[in-house]
Amino acid sequence: MTTRAAPAPDALTLDTLRARRPRTLWNDAWRQFRRHRPAMLGLSVFLFFVVAVVIGPSVWHHPIDEINFAARKQAPSLSHPFGTDDLGRDILARILQGGRVSLSVGVVAMLIAVTIGTTIGAVAGYVGGVVDTVLMRFTDLLISLPQLPLLLLVVYLFRDRLRQSIGVESGTFLLMVIVLGGLRWMPVARLVRAQFLSIKEKEYMEAARCLGVPAWRQVLVHMLPNAFSQVIVAASLAIAAVILAESSLSFLGLGFPPDYPTWGRLLLDAKDLLQTAPHTVIFPGLMIFLTVLSINFIGDGLRDALDPRKAR
Amino acid sequence: MSAEDWSVEDLVQQYKAGSISRRDFVARLAGAGISAGLIFAILQACGGGEKRPTSQQQPGAVVTTVPQARSTFTPTRRGGGGTVRVLWWQAPSILNPHLSSGTKDRDGSRIFLEPLVAFDAEANLVPILAAEIPSVEKGTLDPGRKWIIWKLKKGVTWHDGTPFTAEDVVFTWQYASDPETAALSQGGYRKIESIEKIDDLTVKVTLKEPTVDWTTPWSNSDGLILPKHVHERYKGKEARNAPANLKPIGTGPYKIVEFRPNDIIIADINPNYHVENRPFFDRIEMKGGGDAPSAARAVLQTGEFDFAWNLQVSWDELEAMEKAGQGVILVTQGGSQEHIQLNYTDPNVEIDGERASLKAPHPFFTDLRVRQAFALAMNKKLIVDQLYGKTGEVAHVYYYTPKKYVPDVQQEYNLDKANRLLDEAGWRRGPDGVRTKDGKRMKVLFQTSVNKLRQDTQAIIKQDLQKIGVEVELKSVIADVFFAADPGNPDNFPHFYADMQMYTYTRGGPDDYLDIFRSFLSTEVRQKANNWATQNTTRYVSKEFDALYEQAKRELDPVKAAELVKQMNKKLFDDVAVVPLVGRGGVAAAKKNLKDTNLSGWASNLWWLPYWHRE
Amino acid sequence: MTKFILRRIVISIPTLLGISLVLFAIISLAPGDPFGDIALNPNVPPEVQQKLRQQLGLDDPVYVRYVKWLTSLLRGDWGVSFVNRAQVVDLIWQRLPTTIFVLGTAYLLALLIALPVGIISAVKQYSLWDNLATTFAFLGYSLPTFFTGLLFILVFTVKLRWLPEVYTTNIEASGVNYLLEVLRHAAMPIMVLALFQSAELTRYVRSSVLDVIHLDYVRTARAKGLSEPRVVLVHAVRNALIPVVTIMALQIPAIFTGALITEQIFRVPGIGSLLIASINAHDTPVIMGIVFTYAVLVVTFNLIADVLYGVLDPRITYS
């Protein structure tokens, strides 16, 4: 045995091996993600937006509803970086406030969609047989429903009742996330089911079954994590889709009360001002666009990073 | 704009003496909230009612219409003008005015169907299918106003060649009054006891009670005459199945070519139209759909269309578009008023399955001081100046035009006063600035329909109300739901399940104060028991007002009637039964070379269609 | 194969039934009444409104109304509009050609853009062209259609005055002029839709071709000395297009509903704007007619997608 002197860093000894950080799959994925430039750009932009809407309204001094006719429809300036709308309200403040809603609706709805979709897909994929067929028929049924008209109808129906019971803002928020999330889980379910079906046949699952691993453990510990990479990609795209859908709803006049400045609502208000104040249209539209764009880039990067076929 | 201290009699004296022009006279009366029909009646009483539409424009004290150039166009033949394209951004979906209450459908029908008479912008009665205007001198109008004899124009034919006769007039009345038809125009015919045909071109209309307002329904879209031989087969229950509802047969200047509901109406010239050498255009296309701003753009900027209707767009946007120089904005005052209702009942308490019930009085709107405070917090001038521009005028009383009906009162805007009143009324500010009393917060739900102008108005009012310590929640309901009236729909304005609401009431004609003031009668309070189908939405109850109304109902002397109307207006003002906001004019846009549209606030935008022409 | 198709058709029937049931239930629960106008009129006694509702069977329980609607549908009677008693079929037929024209042209345009861009992008992966194309694709489908629509109006109608904002189906011209006018009117809605769709398609085409281009048989084809275009187009793309075609088929129903907003903005008198108008008017028969049409489209295109997949890919056999 040699003396216990510190070995050279690249010498392949047990110590150096232990000293190196373990290479997990997640680390690998993160490294791959980092190399995807648009994705990193998207991530930074998105994080910036999130931080901005979280602390912005407390930091930015203009209130969202201060009507000031002397300052109507002003183009962007130092005191109003995004200009003012036709009642003299500061657009930047309204965008920051509205961003809170738009982003949180996106995230929460996505979580709902992913939860429901994963559960249904997992059950269908794992149990198989009749349960699978029934669940998949049900999924197909829901996919075949025309989404936008359905959204219109449901919002019509339930907005008032929810408003009665838990207040207008929470009520509308709840309605939006349930409806938007509830119509987006189907692709996730399909993905998860497909993954489960293929994983089920793999040898390591056969091994687990032989070992007597209980079903729930099989699903949660062995199958789900492997399906997860697909789910993450789908989830990130779902946020983008939900944000777009929420702004479409607001643009059609449904959704939050008229003085609540969600981004879609801001576009709706600005629609009449194309003539005299195009900046009122451009800024909210740009916010929606940039948010969705950055999420799409992130999704692309995730897909790249989590794709098992890609060489590391 | 405050009315000077004059009475109707003074004005009449001045007019008779010639110290004010007819135009001024009419303008003053109109500005005071008196309907055109009544003005007309007064003019008749002064001597001189029937007139061809004139167009001398003097800068009057109250400019309520944009001057239209006097027509020098005398065509020598019919047609030859090509196609005229008009844009109604709310698209017609049915072409029978008796089966719809929507202006869009009635305007669409107006291309094909015609009334007996119509009011022009200056409250002159103009005969259309009538041969002449009934008058006492000619023996065709009862001095006691209980019967009218209408002489019909000779030589008028329906689009299919059948002659137009008195039978069609009688039929139209039967059709509209038949409860099985469930016609939306029924209200206009309620006052009629009977109509008899005297000969092929004469009818005698007998009223149930004498009334000053004898011109309706014959002067508005309730009175568009239907062809008996076409609709007879589809009487009563079958009315809605008539193919003529989609392919109308009328006496109008154009015949239907194609109707795609909610999309477009195409109509060709009627070669047998009953006015010589008219109409000018060979074809009319009425396109529908979209929204007001794009409609305005389509006429004022891109010139894609010749005419667009009902441009509910904020004024500075319209002005900016007008600068492009392609078209002009036309404003007509017809007596519509955007107003705010304060609920006398509590919308949050449910009794026997009903909210906003008389059994549950409102926690604070039943206190006059609170209502006065709210009225003091409405900055009408700002709203009109900034949002409505020239299309609106500040309104202080409910029935605000013609001017002879308006008492000399003015609602001021004073937040300090409002604050003091609320303090006096016992509503103290809590730590968060919102007033409370006996544990109740002063919180209001303020609802209206989805409409940019309305949302902007709501925002302004909310800000001011917050300054006097009121918590405001805004709600906007899609127009079709807000104005739909089925008993099961809690979101509509008849239910009034809110503390404040805002919308525009429109006038049925220039002379309808009895109809309009019904909205404040105690017998008309909307409740579940009557399916919310009556007229009193605010749930205002006042014996004095009821008494004044009864008096006005019996008063046949137009001058005395005008005085009573003034008193009713004043009573509502003193009680703050309602908060009038803006007297809204109709806004339309026409291409510069489109002439003689002769828009009238008391008739459809298309009432002068046969005389439209292009330079 | 025929057995497969038949089996799928049989299975889709309960799907269609299920869809129609869900939709009917939701619509019936919606507040609002097609005869709201009448209730507002104090001169109409409530009994009359009752009678009207009875006439149309509005007061029957939901399942009764559903069965009635379904049985008449099977007989070919799609019902009449509550608003103006026009035949629902007529109303839809009046508008379907316009929607198909606008959507169809947009989609063709999208294809014409997406195919070459996507293929070249995949072949020259990571080149400048690829980066540009991918960026374009991302930009394209991150822009909400109502935003692009408004921007286009701002640029082409308000500022430049080149294109009309209001879509008119009634154009008085003939020959070449007619065609030009039609194109002028349809240009903006088509561009808005095409932008969005071509962006999505480009990505799919690109990733499909990428999947295939590295496979062994492509390398073999090159090794055989075939020209590059032949290798790419005949060997690679043909196979790459299989998943693309199926995705296209699946997307078509989504495009129909996505065109709703575009029809609203540009006032295109298509099915989408009719749907919104009838929802606002609580015109149940028309709503059901349109929505059911959508559902049929979806199910049909799903079926076509599956069949195409089986036909194009000889490795897939359906028992």
Please name the member of B293, B316, B491 whose beta carbon is closest to the beta carbon of A271.
B293
**Alpha-carbon Rg for chain A in angstroms:** 25
Task: Please give the average per-residue pLDDT across A64-81, as a whole number.
Answer: 79
Q: Which long-range contacts (CB under 8 A, 24 or more apart) does A93-97 make?
A: A93/A57, A93/A60, A93/A62, A93/A63, A93/A64, A94/A64, A94/A261, A94/A266, A95/A261, A95/A263, A95/A266, A95/A283, A95/A284, A95/A287, A96/A52, A96/A53, A96/A56, A96/A57, A96/A60, A97/A53, A97/A57, A97/A64, A97/A261
B473/B455 Cα distance (integer angstroms): 12
Predicted local distance difference test score (pLDDT) of residue B32: 55
Of residues C131 and B164, more confidence is placed in B164
Average pLDDT (C170-185) is 76
Nearest CA in chain B to C274: B262
Asked, for residue B161, whether it belongs to a domain, the answer is yes
Euclidean distance between CA atoms C121 and C119, whole angstroms: 5
Q: Is residue B163 pLDDT above 60, yes or no? A: yes
DSSP bridge partners of B588: B330
* Global confidence as pTM: 0.76
Q: CB A258 to CB B314 under 8 A?
A: no
Q: Does position C52 have pLDDT exceeding 70, yes or no?
A: no
Both B285 and B228 in one domain: the answer is no
Query: Is the pLDDT assigned to residue B4 strictly greater than 60?
Result: no
Of B28-42, B353-367, C295-309, the range with the highest mean pLDDT is B353-367
Neighbours of chain A (3+ CB pairs under 8 A): B, C
- B486 contacts C33? CB cut-off 8 A: yes
Q: How confident is the model at residue C47 (pLDDT cuts 50, 70, 90)?
A: low
Inter-chain contact A272–B481, Cβ cutoff 8 Å? no
Task: Show residues of chain A in contact with B316, CB under 8 Å.
Answer: 86, 276
CB atoms within 10 A of CB C67: 11
Say if residue B237 is in the same domain as residue B209: yes
- Confidence grade of residue B507 (pLDDT, cut at 50, 70, 90): confident
What DSSP line would sit under B112-152, residue for residue?
A: T---SEEE-TTS-EEESSBSS---TTTT-B-TTSSEEEEEB
pLDDT over 90, % of chain B: 47
pLDDT at B407 over 70: yes
Average pLDDT, rounded, for chain C:
78
Residues of chain A in Cβ contact (below 8 Å) with chain B: 65-67, 69, 72, 86-87, 156, 160, 168, 253, 257-259, 269, 271-276
Question: Which pLDDT score is estimated for B28?
Answer: 62
Contact at CB, C48 and B304, closer than 8 angstroms:
no
Question: For the domain that residue B279 is a member of, what is the CATH number?
Answer: 3.40.190.10
- Most confidently predicted of B547-556, C206-215, C241-250: B547-556
> Which of the other chains make 3 or more beta carbon contacts under 8 angstroms with chain C?
A, B
Note the pLDDT of residue A264: 85
**B436 and B427 in contact (C-beta within 8 Å)?**
yes
- Is there a contact between C260 and C276 (Cβ–Cβ < 8 Å)? yes
Task: State the pLDDT confidence band at A312, using cuts at 50, 70 and 90.
Answer: very low
Ramachandran area for residue A171 (φ above 0: left; ψ -120 to 50: alpha; else beta): alpha
| 8 A C-beta contact, residue B425 and residue B370 | yes
**Mean pLDDT of the region A222-246:** 81
Q: Which pLDDT tens digit goes with each residue over B43-54?
A: 655 544 333 333
Q: What is the pLDDT of residues C10-23, one digit of tens each?
A: 877 877 787 778 77
Task: Please choose, from the candidates B159, B160, B108, the residue with its C-alpha nearest in 3D space to the C-alpha of residue B265.
Answer: B108
Q: What is the mean pLDDT of chain A?
A: 80
Structure tokens at C124: 């020259």
Same domain, B215 and B300: no
Scanning the structure block, which residue is given the tokens 């900055």? B379
One-letter identity of residue B212: V
Q: What number is the average pLDDT over the span A182-196?
A: 84
C27 pLDDT higher than 80: no
Same domain, B266 and B371: no
pLDDT at B23: 58
Report the complex ipTM. Answer: 0.73
**CA distance to partner chain B, nearest, from residue C162 (Å):** 9
- Residue A63: pLDDT above 50? yes
Q: Give the bridge partners for B83, in sequence order.
A: B283
Q: Smallest Cα–Cα separation from C168: which of B32, A104, A99, B289?
A: B289
| Closest by Cβ to B491, choosing from A87, A160, A273 | A160
> C44–B186: do the CB atoms touch at under 8 Å?
yes
Domain of B339: which CATH number?
Answer: 3.10.105.10
* Chain B residues whose beta carbon lies within 8 Å of the beta carbon of residue C42: 187, 524, 533-535
| Over residues A24-51, mean pLDDT | 84
Put simply, the answer to whether C85 touches B245 (Cβ < 8 Å) is yes
Residues B101 and B121 in one domain: no
- Is B69 contained in some domain? no
**Residue of A69, A269, A272 with shortest CB distance to B317:** A272
Tell me whether residues C142 and A144 touch, CB distance under 8 A.
no
Which residues in chain A are contacts of B321 at CB distance < 8 A? 275
User: Which chain B residues contact residue A276 at CB under 8 A?
Assistant: 316-317, 320
How many pairs of residues across B and C have Cβ atoms under 8 Å apart? 151
Please indicate, yes or no, whether residues B481 and B456 belong to a single structural domain of this protein: yes
Which range has the worst mean pLDDT, B17-31, B254-268, B563-577, C225-239? B17-31
> Both B372 and B501 in a single domain?
yes
| pLDDT for res A48 | 92
Selected for mutation to probe chain C from A45, A134, A156 (highest C CB count within 10 Å) is: A156
Options 1.10.3720.10, 3.40.50.720, 1.10.8.50, 1.10.10.10; CATH of A34-55+83-305 = 1.10.3720.10
pLDDT of res. B363? 92
Same domain, B259 and B406: no
Find which of B262, B297, B450, B519 to mutate to test the C interface (most C CBs within 10 Å of its CB): B262
Mean pLDDT of B119-141: 90
Residue C103 has pLDDT above 50, yes or no: yes
Mean pLDDT of chain B: 84
Chain C residues inside the 8 Å CB shell of B489: 31-33, 36
- For A164, the closest chain B residue by CA position comes to B348
DSSP element (H, E) containing B394:
strand B392-394
The answer on B213 and B167 residing in a single domain is yes
- At A217, the pLDDT band (50, 70, 90 cuts) reads confident
**Comparing B449 with B396, which gets the higher pLDDT?**
B396
Distance in Å, alpha carbon of B268 to nearest chain C alpha carbon: 14
pLDDT digits (tens, 9 = 90+) for A82-103: 888 888 888 888 899 888 888 9
pLDDT at B580: 95
Return the structure tokens found at C108: 């063709």
Q: What is the pLDDT of residue B123?
A: 79
For B365-378, write each residue's pLDDT tens digit. Answer: 999 999 999 999 99
pLDDT digits (tens, 9 = 90+) for B566-579: 999 999 999 999 99
- Four-CA torsion C11, C17, C18, C22, nearest 10 degrees: 160
Q: Where does residue A107 rank: exposed (0-12), middle (13-18), buried (19+ CB within 10 A)? A: middle
Closest Cβ opposite residue B289 in set C31, C55, C269: C269
C115: which residues sit within 8 A by CB, 6+ positions away? C201, C205
Does residue A148 have a pLDDT over 80?
A: no
* CB distance B69 to B55 below 8 Å: yes
- Of the candidates B15, B34, B33, B28, the one whose C-alpha atom is nearest the C-alpha of residue B61 is B28
Task: Show Cβ contacts of residue B582 under 8 Å, excluding neighbours closer than 6 positions.
Answer: B337, B338, B380, B383, B384, B388, B392, B393, B394, B395
Residue B390 placed within a domain = yes
Give the model's confidence band at B2: pLDDT under 50 very low, under 70 low, under 90 confident, else very high: very low
Q: CA–CA distance from B171 to each of A108, B168, C84 (Å)?
A: 62, 5, 22
Contacts C172 to B, Cβ<8 Å: 83
Say whether A293 and C139 touch across the interface (CB within 8 A). Answer: yes
Q: Which residues are registered as beta bridge partners of B87?
A: B287, B308
| Among C266, C293, C256, residue whose Cα is nearest residue C92 | C293
How many residues appear in chain A? 312
Pick the closest to residue B484 from C41, C62, C19 (CA basis).
C41
Question: How many angstroms separate the CA of residue A56 from the nearest CA in chain C?
Answer: 24
Distance, in Å, from the CA atom of C260 to the CA atom of B39, rounded to the nearest integer, reads 49
Q: Which of A74, A113, A53 is nearest to A288 (CA)?
A: A53
Q: Distance, in angstroms, between A14 CA and closest chain C CA?
A: 39
When CB atoms are compared, the residue of C135, C144, C257 closest to A146 is C257
The per-residue pLDDT for range B285-298, each reduced to its tens digit, is 999 877 788 888 88
Above 70 in pLDDT, residue B17? no
Chain A CA closest to residue B316: A276
Band the pLDDT of C199: cuts 50, 70, 90.
confident
Cβ <8 Å between A145 and C19:
yes
C-alpha–C-alpha distance, residues B283 and A67, integer Å: 47
Same domain (yes/no): B444, B529: yes
Share of chain C above pLDDT 90, in %: 1
Q: How far is A257 from chain B (nearest CA, A)?
A: 6
Q: What's at C163, amino acid-wise?
A: L
Does residue B456 lie in a domain region?
yes
Contact A276 B317 (CB under 8 A): yes
The residue count of chain C comes to 319
Task: Name the least confident of B209-218, B358-367, B483-492.
Answer: B483-492
Does A273 contact B474 at a Cβ distance shorter than 8 Å? Answer: no
Which residues of chain A does B459 touch, with a Cβ-Cβ cutoff of 8 Å?
65, 67, 87, 259
Tell me which chain C residues have a C-beta less than 8 angstroms from the C-beta of A292: 142-144
CA proximity to C209, closest of C118, C105, C98 = C118
Chain A residues in contact with C146 by the CB 8 A cut-off are 247-248, 251, 267
Q: Is B282 left (phi over 0), alpha (psi -120 to 50) or beta?
A: alpha
The closest of A188, A208, A210 to A199, measured between CA atoms, is A208
Residue-number span of the structural domain to which B130 is assigned: 114-244
Strands B202-207 and B147-151: antiparallel
Q: Please count the residues of chain B.
A: 615
Domain total of chain B: 3
Query: So what's the pLDDT on residue C216?
Result: 82
Whether residues C154 and A157 touch (CB distance < 8 A) is answered with: no
Same domain, B518 and B602: no
- Distance from the Cα of C259 to chain A's closest Cα (Å) equals 10
Using a CB–CB cutoff of 8 Å, tell me whether A45 touches chain C.
Answer: no
* Residues whose CB is less than 8 angstroms from the CB of residue B192 and which lie 6 or more positions away in sequence, other chains included: B173, B177, B205, B206, B207, B208
Contacts of B462 in chain A (CB under 8 A): 65, 259
Kindly give, in sequence order, each residue whose CB lies less than 8 Å from that of residue C72, ignoring residues fewer than 6 positions away.
C78, C79
What is the domain-level CATH number for residue B193?
Answer: 3.90.76.10
Q: Does the residue B384 lie in any domain?
A: yes
CA A137 to CA A131: how far, in whole Å?
Answer: 10
Among B244, B274, B290, which residue terminates a domain? B244
Q: What are the C-alpha distances in Å from C55 to residues B343, B507, C29, C51?
A: 36, 32, 19, 6
Secondary structure in 3-state letters for A191-236:
HHHHHHHHHHCCHHHHHHHHHCCCHHHHHHHHHHHHHHHHHHHHHH
Give SS3 for B540.
Answer: coil
* B244 in contact with chain C, both atoms CB, cutoff 8 A: no
Instruction: Search chain B and give the residue with CA nearest A86.
Output: B456
Confidence of residue A233 (pLDDT cuts 50, 70, 90): confident
Of B479-493, B526-540, B547-561, C53-67, minimum mean pLDDT range: B479-493
User: Nearest-CA residue of chain A relative to C288?
Assistant: A149
DSSP H helices in B116-253: 166-177, 186-189, 228-231
pLDDT band at B3 (very low <50, low <70, confident <90, very high): very low
Tokens of B323: 């600068």
Last residue of a domain, one of B185, B214, B244: B244
Nearest to B472 by CA among B383, B339, B615, B340: B340
Helix (H), strand (E) at residue A304: helix A279-306
CA-CA-CA-CA torsion sign (B240, B244, B250, B253): positive
pLDDT value of residue B58: 27
Residue B411 maps to a domain: yes
| Average pLDDT of the segment spanning A105-128 | 89
- Asked, for residue B397, whether it belongs to a domain, the answer is yes
Q: Are B467 and B521 part of one and the same domain? A: yes
With CA atoms as reference, report the closest residue to C284 among C16, C37, C27.
C27
Whole-angstrom Cα distance, residue B329 to residue B308?
10
- At A189 the pLDDT is 87
Does some domain include residue B272?
yes
Mutate to test the interface with C, among B301, B302, B486 (most CBs of C within 10 A): B486
Q: Which residues contact A248 (CB under 8 A, 6 or more apart)?
A: A148, A264, C144, C146, C261
What are the pLDDT digits (tens) for B413-452? 999 999 999 999 999 998 988 999 988 899 999 999 877 8
